[in-house]
Amino acid sequence: MIDLRSDTVTRPTSAMREAMARAPVGDDVWGDDPSVAAFEAVVAERAGMAAALFFPSGTQSNLAALMVHCQRGDEYIAGQFSHIYRDEGGGAAVLGSIQPQPIEHDPDGSLPLERVQAAIKGADIHHASTRLLALENTFRGKVLPEAYTRRATALAHEHGLATHLDGARLFNAVVASGRSLAELCQGFDSVSLCFSKGLGAPVGSLLLGDEAFIARARRWRKTLGGGMRQAGLLAAGCHHALEHHVERLAEDHDNARRLAEGLGSVSGIEVRACDTNMVFVAFPEAHCRGLQAHLEGCGILMAVGPVTRLVTHLDVSADDIERAVAAVNDYHFSATPRGLT
């Protein structure tokens, strides 16, 4: 099957499996796993951060960051469609008693700074206390502009807010922008990095920050059930991905461009390409169920809807892209798509 639903569906390569099998391990809750410690140290250094902590998932690392930065009754500002607000089960509110303040995105994925500033609450006891600005890079396949992140983090710090970056696909931004990981982390007090998406590891995310922040995050990780024992097997897969799968993300970006160009020639649909490994397609709603069945019959998986996200990754080749475009082209649309925003 050609699976374009997400870059989370990748399977570990043979070389990654071998690295995992060879990994020396210990008990990471006790701080005794050498593979975890080595991985955390390498990434922290590359990111220009003091320390890092290994988590099972990006959702848990984001939640731990929120719970370190904010207390009960505090507030964080995030995008209306950001993962940390919209797609993490309301964890901050449910488990941390932390109130979100969502802000509408600009088309490039940024949060308008005038709206951010207007949303910041002061000392009025009627309001939740604003403590944190959370941004996401990439956002829906788009790389946040460098000048914007500088202004946004500076604004937050001027108002006494901490800053967190959900960098689930930050390595895609590294490759697309040509900037280093450390450059993209500048201005943020904490950063979450995921290794089980475009980099292809089966499990694992890192949370980065200063030493005091990571010490508090370690306690929250234990409380949230994220402490793992011989986690070096997983960390070794992530470490292999870091050393071998970052530069190849350019292939995914090229395949996404090919996919957008190919689908753009299909009558009856609307296509929007992004900076990295995502393509968004507006299909006529009346045809979504039929198209999905048609594609599955062709050996292609898409989560088809009126607005469909297609994601390229290391298990999708250029030939696979041609097959996917041909399969969509073979299906005949008669209605006008609803459109992309």
pLDDT in tens, 5-26: 999 999 999 999 999 999 999 9
Query: Rounded distance, CA 264 to CA 284, Å?
Result: 14
Strand ranges (E), 80-143: 99-103, 129-136
What pLDDT does residue 340 have? 77
How many percent of the chain have pLDDT more than 90? 94
CA of 57: how far to CAs of 34, 195, 329, in Å?
A: 20, 9, 37
What pLDDT does residue 13 have? 97
The yes-or-no verdict on residue 336 having pLDDT over 70 is: no
What pLDDT does residue 341 have? 65
pLDDT digits (tens, 9 = 90+) for 170-228: 999 999 999 999 999 999 999 999 999 999 999 999 999 999 999 999 999 999 999 99
The yes-or-no verdict on residue 268 having pLDDT over 90 is: no
Mean pLDDT for 272-284 is 94
The yes-or-no verdict on residue 273 having pLDDT over 90 is: no
Mean pLDDT for 62-83 is 97
User: What residues contact residue 275 under an 8 Å CB cut-off, 6+ apart?
Assistant: 138, 141, 142, 143, 173, 176, 253
What pLDDT does residue 327 have? 96
Mean pLDDT for 295-300 is 96
Instruction: Give me the residue label for tokens 């944190």.
Output: 132
What pLDDT does residue 191 have? 98
What pLDDT does residue 250 have? 98
pLDDT band at 333 (very low <50, low <70, confident <90, very high): confident
pTM of the shown model:
0.95
Q: Which of 108, 111, 49 is CA-nearest to residue 77?
A: 111
CA of 273: how far to CAs of 246, 253, 279, 329, 336, in Å?
A: 21, 10, 5, 18, 19
Going by the DSSP 8-state scheme, the letter that residue 332 receives in this structure is: P
The yes-or-no verdict on residue 332 having pLDDT over 80 is: no
Q: Which of 245, 237, 141 is CA-nearest to residue 198?
A: 245
Query: Rounded distance, CA 41 to CA 95, Å?
Result: 29
